Amino acid sequence: MAINDIHTPVLLERCIELLAPALQKPGAVLVDATLGMGGHAEALLQRFPGLILVGLDRDLDALAIAEERLKPFRGRVHLVHTVYDGILDALEGLGIDEVDGILFDLGVSSLQIDRVERGFSYSKDAPLDMRMDSTSDLTAQRIIAEYSEAELRRIFQEYGEEKLSARYAKAIVDAREKTPFERSGQLVDVITAVTPVAVQRMGHPAKRVFQALRIEVNQELAVLERAIPAALEAVTVGGRIVVMAYQSLEDRIVKKVFAKASSSSAPAGLPVELPEHKPVFTLLIRGSEQATDEEKALNPRATSVRLRAAERLRRVE
């Protein structure tokens, strides 16, 4: 099966439209901070023949697939194995000071969901892994085995926004005393057993717990809190950044950083805004954009997306 048959990039044309004004010049540099299988990267390299692409990803499997996919553009592509909060170090290693565009497509990738053995899906039994980077140490199995009831409750509450977090944490701790958790199916069974039938009718009871575990395993929110400010720092004047988030916790972080970067720093009541207080970025979208109904029908992964974009107006002296 071809990659294009299993991977449809989310909001591809809209991303290209937003980034295009910054990528027209020969030698423009774009960072795809979440390269994945290279769908967005391939389209952008095709659309802009002078574009140089820096692709970052923590997933070695994804990098291997993207490398093969992007072979026709060899010489214009630099791939780096790193988590996206390492963007400035990655650019420094390539001798790049500023970039013209940055794209983030956050969350779990199609590759990670589709490969059952990675353990990201609550609908398929697999080892409790959930690592985006297979070289890292922390797994979902280790969290389930070692975290206290209070720690499990906290991550289910904070990262899954799960109302039954206390109930689930207790059930897991009770169950692991009898049998160690090794597979996702065991965890789903324990969660389902203590979930009221009325709640089960509203959606899969394990969905939020699996989200919370994935975020904890990969430290996704902490990484994002570092990555977005670092990315803004790398953008040149006239350069643009586009971010797609798929759940409210991610989007909240992006919204907060963008709001600060696009606001005046002048003290309240100052009669005249001095140049040094003017906003550094301007927002290209009022609030966030969602996918159209047509795109959601064609690409279910787009259902929950929230897209935000900004352009750098000036450098801070």
pLDDT digits (tens, 9 = 90+) for 229-285: 999 999 999 999 999 999 999 999 999 999 999 997 767 666 666 666 689 999 999
Rounded to the nearest integer, the mean pLDDT of the chain is: 92
Q: How many CA atoms lie within 13 A of 91 on its CB side?
A: 24
The per-residue DSSP string of the chain comes to --HHHH---TTHHHHHHHHHHHH-STT-EEEETT-TTSHHHHHHHHH-TT-EEEEEES-HHHHHHHHHHTGGGTTSEEEEES-GGGHHHHHHHTT---EEEEEEE-S--HHHHH-GGG---TTS--BS---SSTTSS--HHHHHHHS-HHHHHHHHHHHH--TTHHHHHHHHHHHHTTS---BHHHHHHHHHHTS-HHHHTTS-TTHHHHHHHHHHHHTHHHHHHHHHHHHHHHEEEEEEEEEEESSHHHHHHHHHHHHHHTS--PPTT-SS--GGGS-SEEESSSS-B---HHHHHH-GGGTT-EEEEEEE-----
Pairwise CA distance, residues 223 & 136, whole Å: 14
- pLDDT per residue as tens digits for the range 102-149: 999 998 766 666 666 677 788 889 999 999 888 899 999 999 999 999
User: Is 105 flagged in the annotation as binding?
Assistant: yes
> Does 39 appear as a known binding residue?
yes
Residue 78 known to bind ligand: no
Q: What is the pLDDT of residue 135?
A: 87
Judged by average pLDDT, the poorest of 131-135, 160-164, 184-188 is 131-135
Is 204 a known ligand-binding residue?
Answer: no
Question: In this predicted model, what pLDDT tens digit does every residue of 75-95 receive, in sequence order?
Answer: 999 999 999 999 999 999 999
CATH code linked to domain 115-218: 1.10.150.170
**Domain spans, the chain:** 3-105+220-312, 115-218
The strand pair at 235-245 and 306-312 is best described as: antiparallel
How many CA atoms are closer than 13 Å to the CA of 129, on its beta-carbon side? 19
The CATH class that applies to domain 3-105+220-312 reads alpha beta
Under 8 Å between Cβ of 11 and 245: no
Check the annotation: does 247 bind a ligand: no
pTM of the model: 0.90
